[in-house]
A and B are shown apart, each in its own frame.
Chain A
Amino acid sequence: MRSRDRARNWALGIWSAAALLYLFIPVFLIVVFSFNDNKGRFNFTWQGFTLSHWKHPFVDSDLSEALKNSLEIAVIVTVISVLLGTFLAMALTRYRFRGQGAAGVFVFLPMATPEVVMGASLLAMFLVVGINTGFWTIVIAHVMFTLSYVVVTVRARLEGMDPHIEEAAQDLGAGVWTTFARVTLPMIAPGVAAAAVLAAAISIDDYVVTSFNAGQTQTFPLFIFGSTRQGVPPEVNVLGTMLLLGVLLLMALNVIVQRALARRDRIVDDDVTAAPPAAPAERAAPVPA
């Protein structure tokens, strides 16, 4: 039994590694080609190794500006979208109210609409109402279509979760917000985290809806798509790699900090249990160590 388990674990591990590798194959290529010494403006064939693109990645201020905009937008959109989406998901899953079914289906619609139509019609509305397109209209548009993804992801977590736990908390006197903060939120935290990550990724990569509603603001995907006509400069690869490394670094820091915190908690616990050694030993029955 145990060796079969181990074999199964190994198989799972290898499959997961393979799947992740598959996801990263184009990424590796992009990273590698950031070192390409391309003589022309296109970056398709390996022509030699160079660090020159890495030495001056920010030389095109418009590209850096575009990346900065994309990052700022992604952060703002993620916060708003996760807030609105989590609460909406809770309302749809936990409670019964009139129009719930319709609302549940309505939430799927933005995903189902072709981006061209969605982007253009949103732009039409902005123009009629008189809102100038730019940074904030991009944010509005992004929140609009990431909401669906957030709701669906959080619902996947909420559905089938035992609602009695929350009822129990409330029966014990916890108010609505206390219940939410200390009972519900920790339980759905992985769902919310996944939804946040998804929303950020969708926002940072969106092209069509953004192109209609961006006004004169440039974002990373807009710049890249536009530069395909003349050849995407390797500085784009460099910035993309930097972005990747930055995010990985943050994550690694997170893991280290968590591990440090966990170790600190363990040390504290050890001290606490070590303090009065005699007393528990007298009372307790012999427990195997």
Chain B
Amino acid sequence: MADELDPEQLDHAFREIFGDKRLSRRRFLGRSATAAFAAGGLASVLSACGIAGTAARNLRVLQAEAENVHHPRTAIGDWTFANWPLYIDKKVIREFNARFGGHCKYIEEINDNNEFYGKVRQQLAQGVFIGRDIVVLTDYMAGRWVRYGYVTPIDKRNVPNMRNLVPNLRSIGYDPRRQFTLPYQSGAIGLGYDIKQTGVEIRSVRDLFDPRWKGRVTMFTEPYDSAGTVLLGEGIDASRATLDQQLSAIEKIGKAASAGQFRRFTGNDYTTDLTKGNVAIALSYSGDLVQLQSDNPNLRFSYPEEGAMLFTDNMMMPSHVEHPYAAETMMNYLYDPQVAAVVCDWVNYISPVDGIKPILERMDPDVAHNDLIFPPDSVRKKLYPYPSFSTRQEQQMYEAMAKVTGA
């Protein structure tokens, strides 16, 4: 295992701060303020050290590890699966426990990629197990973890069902051979609209900027989603976009925002605006629209004709994972078409597992024939995953977007 914390550096830091000399009581008391500052400093040193150290365990090292990964069969035991809320049919977990033994602690603690990262980054940087054997994170965050070496390679011998992975997700920029990540669910970012308000079908990214809908459009605060969609609208392959292209897309959004085109920028909360008719068109997630239509039957979803961004939430094992065999068994289980069908029926997003449509046609035909869950091939060809950026590039992107969204 590569060392995240250089012991020499750490030693030096310790000596600098606490000194070699014995501390007399008076000097200690007198230095209490300095000590407090030093304690703060030490924390920073540790975290700073940690952050600096992670770049050392880079992708090539990780890939070499991946070639030799071997997770022997063990008892499942007690292990932890961290996921987004309401993202699985809990009976799948129960059936897994019944069939494979052990006890899966399933915690729905991931509410936001950046927030979750903020929560565990220090432990990751220090090379400590974060207590979760599987985490489910969206592409750009998964990419960051792979880049930093915060993941454990998957022993594919324990996940034979990986062959059921849909063809268009078999490879992705940040994990070309799917050695560290395995898709969990996908969704498309498309145009949700209220047909009663628009009167016509909305099919193109251009409609988002159409002055006819001025002030009645919402965009996502997440630049990967918004800027990506805009790039697709201009005919650019968003999954291969450069930072400059992203920034120019953000600029275009900014100009439209200043002109009052967008009512506001949302996270997941565009749903209330759209349902209640506050907006005519909202950049939306496919899975949501399936659900919203029962609240407002006038809502429609269309995949933009220029193409749609596809986000995927991926399962990964963090570095220094403690129950890799259990995690891989679960991954394998979730890729069994029967199980995947159950999950898809519950979650209503686009499943990354091939061959579940016939199963669903028997189980729940409404779901099987829903374009939002099973996009037709013509649409699948135009679904683009997120591009990959370095952290510094991401920072620039987020900074630019923050200026547009006023944060």
Whether A and B touch (Cβ < 8 Å) is answered with yes
Query: Does B393 make an interface contact (CB < 8 A)?
Result: no
Among B11-19, B111-119, B223-231, the stretch that binds chain A is B111-119
Query: Does B8 make an interface contact (CB < 8 A)?
Result: no
| 5-43 of chain A: CB within 8 A of chain B | 38-43
Are B295 and A45 touching (Cβ within 8 A)?
Answer: yes
What chain B residues lie within 8 Å of A127 (beta carbons)? 122-123, 126
Are A44 and B126 touching (Cβ within 8 A)?
Answer: no
Are B115 and A211 touching (Cβ within 8 A)?
Answer: yes
Are A225 and B290 touching (Cβ within 8 A)?
Answer: no
Among A164-172, A227-235, A259-267, the stretch that binds chain B is A227-235
Are B108 and A44 touching (Cβ within 8 A)?
Answer: no
Are B119 and A212 touching (Cβ within 8 A)?
Answer: yes
Are B295 and A40 touching (Cβ within 8 A)?
Answer: yes
Q: Which residue of A lies closest to B272 (CB)?
A: A44
Query: Does A62 make an interface contact (CB < 8 A)?
Result: yes
In the complex, per-residue mask of A59-90: 1 if CB is within 8 Å of any chain B CB, else 0: 01010000000000000000000000000000
Query: Does A153 make an interface contact (CB < 8 A)?
Result: no
Interface of B, secondary structure class, is mixed
Query: Does A215 make an interface contact (CB < 8 A)?
Result: yes
What chain A residues lie within 8 Å of B82 (beta carbons)? 216
Query: Does B234 make an interface contact (CB < 8 A)?
Result: no
Query: Does B109 make an interface contact (CB < 8 A)?
Result: yes
Are B86 and A124 touching (Cβ within 8 A)?
Answer: no
Contact of B43 among A42, A124, A233 (CB under 8 A): A124
Quote the shortest CB–CB distance from A216 to chain B (angstroms): 5
In the complex, per-residue mask of B94-123: 1 if CB is within 8 Å of any chain A CB, else 0: 000000000001111111000100110011
Query: Does A237 make an interface contact (CB < 8 A)?
Result: no
Quote the shortest CB–CB distance from A39 to chain B (angstroms): 4
Q: Which residue of A lies closest to B276 (CB)?
A: A44
| 286-302 of chain B: CB within 8 A of chain A | 287-288, 290-296
Query: Does B398 make an interface contact (CB < 8 A)?
Result: no
Among B47, B82, B291, B295, the one with the most A-chain Cβ atoms within 10 Å of its Cβ is B295
Quote the shortest CB–CB distance from B276 to chain A (angstroms): 7
Are B131 and A42 touching (Cβ within 8 A)?
Answer: no
Are A41 and B123 touching (Cβ within 8 A)?
Answer: no
A89–B85 Cα gap in the complex (Å)?
A: 41
A212–B87 Cα gap in the complex (Å)?
A: 21
A223–B108 Cα gap in the complex (Å)?
A: 7
A26–B291 Cα gap in the complex (Å)?
A: 23
Contact of A123 among B105, B119, B276 (CB under 8 A): B119
Number of inter-chain CB pairs below 8 Å: 99
Query: Does A109 make an interface contact (CB < 8 A)?
Result: no
Query: Does B247 make an interface contact (CB < 8 A)?
Result: no
Query: Does A163 make an interface contact (CB < 8 A)?
Result: no
Are A226 and B84 touching (Cβ within 8 A)?
Answer: yes
Are B109 and A218 touching (Cβ within 8 A)?
Answer: yes
Query: Does A128 make an interface contact (CB < 8 A)?
Result: yes
| 115-154 of chain A: CB within 8 A of chain B | 120, 123-125, 127-128
A124–B132 Cα gap in the complex (Å)?
A: 19
Are A40 and B292 touching (Cβ within 8 A)?
Answer: yes
Query: Does B218 make an interface contact (CB < 8 A)?
Result: no
Q: Which residue of B lies closest to A126 (CB)?
A: B122
Are A229 and B292 touching (Cβ within 8 A)?
Answer: no
Are B131 and A226 touching (Cβ within 8 A)?
Answer: no
Chain B interface residue count: which class?
A: 35 or more
What chain B residues lie within 8 Å of A43 (beta carbons)? 295
| 267-283 of chain B: CB within 8 A of chain A | 268-269, 271-272, 275-276
Query: Does A222 make an interface contact (CB < 8 A)?
Result: yes
Query: Does A214 make an interface contact (CB < 8 A)?
Result: yes
Q: Which residue of A lies closest to B290 (CB)?
A: A40
Among A120, A125, A230, the one with the most B-chain Cβ atoms within 10 Å of its Cβ is A230
Q: Which residue of B lies closest to A128 (CB)?
A: B43
> Do A222 and B268 contact each other (CB < 8 Å), given the known contacts A127-B123, A128-B46?
no
A223–B294 Cα gap in the complex (Å)?
A: 24
In the complex, per-residue mask of A185-222: 1 if CB is within 8 Å of any chain B CB, else 0: 00000000000000000000000000110111010001
A39–B293 Cα gap in the complex (Å)?
A: 9
Are A40 and B294 touching (Cβ within 8 A)?
Answer: yes
Are B295 and A230 touching (Cβ within 8 A)?
Answer: no
Query: Does A113 make an interface contact (CB < 8 A)?
Result: no
Contact of A60 among B90, B288, B294, B295 (CB under 8 A): B90
Query: Does B312 make an interface contact (CB < 8 A)?
Result: no
What chain A residues lie within 8 Å of B132 (beta carbons)? 216
Query: Does B351 make an interface contact (CB < 8 A)?
Result: no
Query: Does A50 make an interface contact (CB < 8 A)?
Result: no
Are A218 and B275 touching (Cβ within 8 A)?
Answer: no
| 80-116 of chain A: CB within 8 A of chain B | none
What chain A residues lie within 8 Å of B42 (beta carbons)? 128
Query: Does B80 make an interface contact (CB < 8 A)?
Result: yes
A60–B89 Cα gap in the complex (Å)?
A: 11
Are A39 and B294 touching (Cβ within 8 A)?
Answer: yes
What chain A residues lie within 8 Å of B291 (beta carbons)? 40-42, 230-231
What chain B residues lie within 8 Å of A120 (beta carbons)? 118
Query: Does A178 make an interface contact (CB < 8 A)?
Result: no
Contact of A42 among B110, B275, B347 (CB under 8 A): B275
Query: Does A47 make an interface contact (CB < 8 A)?
Result: yes
Are B293 and A40 touching (Cβ within 8 A)?
Answer: yes
> Do A42 and B109 contact each other (CB < 8 Å), given the known contacts A216-B80, A227-B86?
no
Q: Which residue of B lies closest to A59 (CB)?
A: B90
Quote the shortest CB–CB distance from A140 to chain B (angstroms): 16
What chain A residues lie within 8 Å of B272 (beta carbons)? 44
Taking A44-B275, A127-B122 as known contacts, 4 extra A-B pairs with beta carbons closer than 8 A to each other, sorted by chain A number, are A42-B291, A42-B292, A127-B126, A227-B85
Q: List 13 A-B contacts (CB under 8 A).
A: A40-B290, A42-B291, A62-B106, A62-B108, A212-B118, A212-B119, A214-B109, A216-B131, A216-B132, A223-B108, A226-B109, A228-B268, A229-B268
CB-CB nearest 7 A-B residue pairs: A39-B294, A40-B291, A40-B294, A226-B85, A230-B86, A226-B111, A45-B295
